[in-house]
Amino acid sequence: MDVVRKVRKNLEKSRQEATKYHEQGNVVMARTEYANCARQLRYLAGLSKPSLREGLINESRKYDELVVSLGGQPVAPPHGPGLSAPTVESPGVTGQQSKLQHAVLAEKPKVNFAGVAGLDEVKEHIREAIIDPFVYPDEYAHFGVQPGGGILLYGPPGCGKTMIAAAAASEADAVFISLKSSDIKNMYVGESEKNVKTVFTMAEQYPRAIIFFDEIDALASERSSRMEVHERSLVSELLAQMDGLEVKGEPRNVLVLAATNRPWGIDIALRRSGRFDTTIFVPHPDRPARQRLLEINLQDKPVSASVSLDRLTDLTEGYASSEIAGICQKAARIPLRERISDNLPRRELVMADFEQVLEHTKTVLDSWYRKALKELAHSEESETFAELVLMAQGYRFRKER
């Protein structure tokens, strides 16, 4: 189904729901559905020919008025073609449901690929698997290529997995539904599965959505496969929902991404199911990436011309991206502290500031790569995560330097 037809279908559904709720006197739900109508009309306007646009916008304003007449806020004009999430403010939602809704309501991420340093191969992979199917659905259909399947990002902590997932959604102009296991897991039997279902149902309502399971090892851990029966059924539900996305002949509007820094700890059913058929290694930053990270993190700081970016790039070898960001912050704190606590004149950051910070900054990658090698040697998954094994073997452990 093309995007316009899908939006029209959703619009019709929201219209019917709104009328039903209005007639029942359920003001809150009626307001929510009227707001959905307004949003979908604006979205349609964004997709339509200029001659039709004004009519659709006017119609959406009428729904805005209805929302206001029922005590709500008018729908803010969406950015771009308007992929903002419909308001969900159903009465009597549980804390967990509202967490889920919050995940959906999150604004479109601001970060894009340009803001992610390095990781060119990862970006290329993601572009092919996630962005192109959204942007060129006709081409995929023409060549009979089924897009998607799940993508599992794995790699050391602090090197951009979460960031690149958000950037992918932003590049694809998709609603980004980012979930942690605490958003999904519920102690009551059957509730976690229901949450998974709800997430997929919510996502289906958008022309484009990316569901992102962050730290998926916590959701589907090996431990759970042996010990917790109802956590197993959570994984089954997730797999079933992912299967449900495989509607033949229709371009997908929902793609699934997941991330972990404990790939060896993920439930084998998930890894072997083929649903996460693409695994992408997100490595720690190489030289060009570190240089870019330094540029990004120093651009708003007064850095002396005497600071050699080249040398800093060398000195930060082996650190995670988040650690390099932290090093820049800490270095800037030195002259800041001098200025405030010691009332010294303002000065620029110099090399000595960075050297002082670096001397006291350890990297987590050391122990992380060691552990990865150990864990993967025990598992039967070394081949699946071959790139990680290679990178870990090539990582010069800092103590050995």
Binding site for Mg ion (CB under 5 A): 161-162
- Contact partners, residue 234, CB within 8 Å, separation at least 6: 184, 185, 192, 193, 196, 219, 220, 224
Tell me which residue has tokens 């007064």. Answer: 302
Return the one option of Mg ion, ligand ATP, none that residue 293 interacts with (CB less than 5 to 8 A, by type): ligand ATP
Per CB under 6 A, 257 contacts ligand ATP: no
Which of 72, 82, 86, 118 binds ligand ATP (CB under 6 A)? It is: 118
Cβ nearer to ligand ATP, comparing 161 with 252: 161
Does residue 361 bind ligand ATP (CB under 6 A)?
Answer: no
Q: How far apart are CA 30 and CA 397, in angstroms?
A: 60
Q: Which does 185 bind (CB under 5 to 8 A by kind): ligand ATP, Mg ion, none?
A: none
- In the complex with ligand ATP, which residue's Cβ is closer, 3 or 324? 324
Kind plus residue range of the DSSP H or E element containing 212: strand 209-213
Binding partner of residue 41 among Mg ion, ligand ATP, none, CB under 5 to 8 Å per kind? none
Applying CB under 6 A, among 35, 75, 88, 117 the residue interacting with ligand ATP is: 117
CB of 336 to ligand ATP, least distance (A): 20
Q: CB under 5 to 8 A by kind: which of Mg ion, ligand ATP, none does 137 bind?
A: none
Q: Report the residue number, 160 or 251, with the smaller CB distance to ligand ATP.
A: 160
Residue 321 interacting partner from ligand ATP, Mg ion, none (CB closer than 5 to 8 Å by kind): ligand ATP
CB closer to Mg ion out of 56 and 270: 270
Q: Identify which of residues 98 and 162 has a Cβ nearer to ligand ATP in the complex.
A: 162
Which of the ranges 11-19, 152-160, 168-176, 298-306 carries the binding residues for ligand ATP, by CB under 6 A?
152-160
Which position among 48, 162, 225, 361 is part of the footprint of ligand ATP (CB under 6 A)?
A: 162
* Dihedral sign for Cα atoms in the order 192, 195, 197, 203: negative
d(CA 341, CA 54): 59
Distance (Å, whole) CA 170 – CA 168: 5
Query: Can you tell me the distance from the alpha carbon of 115 to that of 121, in angstroms, rounded to the nearest whole number?
Result: 15
For the chain, first and last CA: distance in Å? 58
Residue for token pair 């449901």:
97
Rg (CA), the chain: 24
Report the residue closest to ligand ATP, judged by CB.
Answer: 160
Q: Which is nearer to ligand ATP, 37 or 259 (CB)?
A: 259
The entry of Mg ion, ligand ATP, none near residue 316 (CB within 5 to 8 angstroms by kind) is none
User: In the chain, how long is the greatest CA-to-CA distance?
Assistant: 74
Cα–Cα distance list, 33 to 70, 111, 121, 226, 327 (Å): 12, 30, 42, 43, 48
List, edge to edge, every strand of the sheet that includes 175-179: 175-179, 209-213, 254-260, 151-154, 278-281
Bridge partners of 256? 211
The one of Mg ion, ligand ATP, none whose footprint includes residue 157, by CB under 5 to 8 A per kind, is ligand ATP
Residue 27 and residue 390: Cα distance in Å, rounded?
Answer: 59
Query: CB 17 → ligand ATP: shortest distance, Å?
Result: 37
SS3 191: helix
Q: How far is the CB of 366 from ligand ATP (least distance, A)?
A: 15
285: enclosing H helix or E strand: none
Between residue 301 and residue 340, which ones bind ligand ATP under the rule CB under 6 A?
Answer: 321-322, 325
Q: Please report, as ranges, the residues that interact with ligand ATP according to CB under 6 A.
A: 116-119, 157-163, 259, 261, 293, 296, 321-322, 325
